[in-house]
Structure 1
């Protein structure tokens, strides 16, 4: 585009547009583009000296005589004076378009070029299209890509007022124009020491889990979190469909490729299906794929299996916490008292399993056999001197709630096939120490909500105990193991409190995600916000916004948290053990390339960790 008259004559400025935004015509054309259309408008500015303004002054004061000899002043003196009062830049305005056909490209080009007619000043200047020869067009495109000064008009100067009219952020007057991407959240500067890939060796990159991008030092940059900072745990909150599961999948895929050990617990099953498509060939034999809904083969997990005697109370407390989580609405002190004593007694039996709990309460002969083996005098006294003296009615009232709750699960074929084995088919401590990968598919649609919650909470408790067994290892020898739990409120027992506060020294690092703060029990909520070093918030509900706004400090307000688009998150990241100020980021999409190792990994896992159901 070029000026139709000399550079001293102005085009329209924003002062000449009363009720409309100056760029409304241009944006209106762009808003109607078709899917295959591409349009670029480039403004190239070069500073100039004040010599053009001096030339303008001379033009203002220049006088001519007409045929009668009368002195005539410059009729354009006023508009020239208005233009030269502001600094100017030599300006090139370049347009490039492309579409599916030449006809459509030509139409689009003329529509874009014609929109500049709205800047025509009847008493000044206008912008008109200058056609290039065919051989010049490729050179112009190269110049545009390089922002080169080639094809720069020699004497085309626009002042800052004209330039501000030509390009500026859209105003609310343009809110009716479709397809404008309005930015609803305040931008913020990320930390100066953000972990990015640039300048790192391959070994250093393997220690960083890259999961998002942000504007860093004026350019889009992919960043991640260091291994040592993941030990402070990660909490992710966001409504369904905002990007939480994609974030977890990306982090897990990154860990998979970098030979890290982790466990993913997925109550929906979709996340597990995604991960199976990204298994590298060198990790096939590391996969432990657990699908409780498989009707032909089952893995074995015995909640009552202990390797060390001192762990018995921890195991029992974990199981009690699971049932309390599931049946808190009908929980009472007597129920917990009898259930705990029953579990503490049964766990002393050889090959003890949860199937013995209902039998312990209902079968007097079996109960006497268990009591005879007890070495704990307090436990023995409970059964001999207290429980035995209950009236039949009191016994029935005491044990029926436990039988109802435990019996609901042991009567489930799916659960029974998993918990009936005295010896677990999965050695969780060995899996953690060897850096293997557990993918636990707890699809509630296949298992039922309660069964999925029981299995998930049970395995989390077993992982916690396996981590605590590392106390005999030197701290530097403990291999990091990452526990990803999506919709973790389904499994949120007091085990999480202990993991959040103590497990980092055992190198068990949590990545927890859910939709609403109100879903989390208060004790667990306090542990999360007191211990999680990294927090990420996607779009959340109005009830959670005040809480998270306080957590993020003054940089982001409630309305920012309520206006995030999908895959956009406000992140408070731990870097070098220090939690940094929050900033805005966009989580990465899933990798494009998938592998073909799904069936091989599932088959290998079944052969190692499951048994045929008989």
Structure 2
């Protein structure tokens, strides 16, 4: 991180672990004495099962699934982000992210999802520097929430509202969430919309809608209808039913044009990014005198 020009991306973690010459160059530019001491006095001197020779292949293999993917490599290999998350929030911009598992793979899609959610949440927390709290609200909608949820979600759900970050989480059934995440969701989320659900979920959600609706009602909601309980002015309202609109027709030509415009403004060509990554990897490191690490 202290020498971004030589690489500070997820792709470079494997190089730090496996390439002694690259690691030595990084350490010579590091100003953190704890990091330097760890690598020079602990990591390289460990023996037995804890030796670098035994640990490196295991760690590096965990990154292969990302670095070997043609779609992932240009994403995680860039030195600088194409956009600023705090700016997106404060300027009321819209960020749409397509995490298609068919294109990225399940593990890669989940990784990017968790990274992006973390970035957005950190941007929200950075709003603490505005004592006037004049910043506009920002809404984060997470589909397939179970794929990007982490154990820190309880802290996220409780802290986000202080910085005008509204969360909308959507998933198919409650059992998709771990128990601790499930408890955090029901303990912090103020408004719930339930479309037709199965018997297990209906039983679990019934207490949220009684006495107006029972479990049988939740299992027999008509298509495009839902039962809703919202938090208004800090007070739960009486549950009620809603009818949603059918999806609007999509002008595909307009979609393609908007995507192309966004890519031109914020994106970079794959060829340019791949060339940048290649240049970092083939760049000859200047020999230095020092430790062999």
Using the size of structure 1 for normalisation, the TM-score is 0.41
Mapped pair 1:482 → 2:139: yes
Tell me how far 1:501 sits from its aligned partner.
Answer: 1.2
Mapped pair 1:517 → 2:174: yes
Q: Deviations over 1:523-550 (max 9, x none)?
A: 3222211111101111112222221112
CA pair 375-524 structure 1, distance change in 2 beyond 3 A: farther
Larger RCO (alpha carbons 8 Å, 6+ apart): 1
Q: Deviations over 1:453-510 (max 9, x none)?
A: 1111111111112222222124432111111111111111245333311111222211
| 3-state SS, counterpart of residue 464 of structure 1 | helix
CA contact (8 A) 1:492 1:521 kept: no
- Greater strand fraction, Structure 1 or Structure 2: 1
CA pair 475-396 structure 1, distance change in 2 beyond 3 A: farther
| 3-state SS, counterpart of residue 441 of structure 1 | coil
Mapped pair 1:529 → 2:199: no
CA contact (8 A) 1:475 1:506 kept: no
Mapped pair 1:398 → 2:52: no
1:441 corresponds to which of 73, 95, 98: 98
Mapped pair 1:410 → 2:52: no
| In structure 2, distance between residues paired with 1:610 and 1:369 | 31
| In structure 2, distance between residues paired with 1:430 and 1:518 | 36
Tell me how far 1:589 sits from its aligned partner.
Answer: 2.4
CA pair 529-608 structure 1, distance change in 2 beyond 3 A: same
CA contact (8 A) 2:72 2:104 kept: no
Name the structure 2 match of 1:612: 269
Name the structure 1 match of 2:77: 420
CA pair 377-523 structure 1, distance change in 2 beyond 3 A: farther
Q: Deviations over 1:89-117 (max 9, x none)?
A: xxxxxxxxxxxxxxxxxxxxxxxxxxxxx
| In structure 2, distance between residues paired with 1:489 and 1:577 | 27
Gaps of 5+ in 1: 1-346
How do 1:324-403 residues align onto structure 2 when only pairs under 5 Å count?
A: 347-351=1-5, 352-391=8-47, 393-394=49-50, 395-403=52-60
How do 1:490-509 residues align onto structure 2 when only pairs under 5 Å count?
A: 490-509=147-166
CA contact (8 A) 1:464 1:495 kept: no
Aligned CA-pair RMSD: 2.2
How do 1:69-84 residues align onto structure 2 when only pairs under 5 Å count?
A: none
| In structure 2, distance between residues paired with 1:558 and 1:348 | 56
CA pair 365-381 structure 1, distance change in 2 beyond 3 A: same
Tell me how far 1:592 sits from its aligned partner.
Answer: 6.2
| 3-state SS, counterpart of residue 477 of structure 1 | coil
Mapped pair 1:575 → 2:232: yes
| In structure 1, distance between residues paired with 2:100 and 2:116 | 15
Gaps of 5+ in 2: 272-293
Mapped pair 1:538 → 2:199: no
How do 1:240-389 residues align onto structure 2 when only pairs under 5 Å count?
A: 347-351=1-5, 352-389=8-45
Name the structure 2 match of 1:52: none
- The count of residues paired between Structure 1 and Structure 2 equals 268
CA pair 559-502 structure 1, distance change in 2 beyond 3 A: same
CA contact (8 A) 1:475 1:505 kept: no
Tell me how far 1:421 sits from its aligned partner.
Answer: 1.4
CA contact (8 A) 1:456 1:491 kept: yes
Larger Rg belongs to = 1
| 3-state SS, counterpart of residue 611 of structure 1 | coil
1:464 corresponds to which of 121, 125, 138: 121
| In structure 2, distance between residues paired with 1:410 and 1:535 | 39
Tell me how far 1:560 sits from its aligned partner.
Answer: 1.9
Using the size of structure 2 for normalisation, the TM-score is 0.83
